[in-house]
């Protein structure tokens, strides 16, 4: 236990800005305001009245080809964690990945990146697909090289709560559908030992929200804050500000 704690401290400390080294910051845009809510149960449909506290935010399609699927998200936070809701138009479930912690990004998926402390290059990445399978990572991005670490003791109150709702078809690979939605709850306990957790009123994190779709036979990308080549471009993340 002491050895693991020591390793985490060293990893975080080494990623902080030092003399002659700066972390590129996102473009100066108005932060997205994250409204505060009371905790609620997930259904996968986004039908809880708490979601009326905030507006939809749209993802931009980054690649040519494929369908122009509407993709949007909402975000809230409570005393216990952060809620995210995705809504995605779709024609087909184009993923073979039916097990957690696989290469989900090689199939249909939505992704959430939280960079809680912009003074470090360590952040949280989460992916989930229509088959209710997930990938959870803590990512040390050192000199542009990003490789995720799976969380230790990912269980009980340290897990992401998720509910998926597929409409127009079955939730199986290659099924024809019309859309899918996903509700997520990220408990603050899971973000430890990242900085600025839990968030307080007025605090700013950086974040990005993505979608990958393979209905056309190739990867088509969407992003809230557009990137050039990689979802791990920290300087392209946008600021979110907690109410």
* Model confidence pLDDT, tens digit, residues 217-231: 999 999 999 999 999
The CA-atom distances, in angstroms, between 36 and each of 15, 44, 82, 103, 130 are: 30, 20, 9, 33, 28
Q: What's the residue count for the chain?
A: 243
CATH architecture, domain defined by 44-242: Sandwich (2.60)
More confident residue, 15 or 201: 201
Interval 90-126: pLDDT, tens? 999 999 999 999 999 999 999 999 999 999 999 999 9
The CA-atom distances, in angstroms, between 144 and each of 112, 127, 235 are: 19, 20, 11
Strand partners, 87: 72, 181
Burial class (CB in 10 A: 0-12, 13-18, 19+), 79: exposed
Interval 2-57: pLDDT, tens? 334 333 433 444 333 333 334 444 555 799 999 999 999 999 999 999 999 999 99
What is the model's pTM? 0.88
Domain ranges of the chain: 44-242
What the block records as the tokens of 161 is 């709560």
Q: Are 133 and 92 in contact (CB under 8 A)?
A: no
């Amino acid at each position: 236990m002491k050895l693991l704690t020591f390793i985490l401290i060293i990893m975080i400390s080494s990623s902080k800005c030092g003399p002659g080294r700066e972390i590129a910051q996102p473009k100066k845009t108005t932060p997205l305001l994250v409204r505060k809510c009371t905790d609620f149960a997930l259904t996968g449909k986004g039908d809880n009245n708490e979601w009326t506290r905030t507006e939809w935010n749209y993802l931009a399609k980054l690649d040519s080809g494929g369908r122009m699927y509407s993709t949007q998200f909402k975000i809230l936070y409570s005393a216990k964690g952060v809620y995210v809701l995705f809504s995605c138009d779709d024609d087909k479930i184009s993923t073979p990945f039916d097990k957690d912690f696989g290469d989900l990004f090689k199939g249909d998926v939505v992704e959430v990146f939280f960079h809680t402390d912009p003074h470090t290059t360590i952040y949280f990445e989460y992916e989930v697909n229509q088959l209710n399978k997930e990938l959870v990572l803590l990512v040390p991005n050192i000199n542009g090289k990003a490789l995720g670490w799976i969380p230790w003791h990912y269980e009980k109150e340290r897990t992401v709560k998720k509910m998926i709702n597929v409409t127009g078809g079955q939730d199986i690979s290659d099924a024809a559908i019309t859309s899918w939605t996903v509700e997520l709850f990220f408990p603050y306990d899971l973000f430890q030992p990242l900085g600025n957790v839990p968030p307080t009123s007025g605090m700013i994190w950086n974040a990005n929200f993505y979608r990958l779709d393979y209905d056309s036979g190739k990867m088509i990308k969407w992003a809230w804050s557009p990137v050039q080549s990689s979802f791990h471009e920290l300087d392209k993340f946008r600021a979110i500000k907690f109410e």
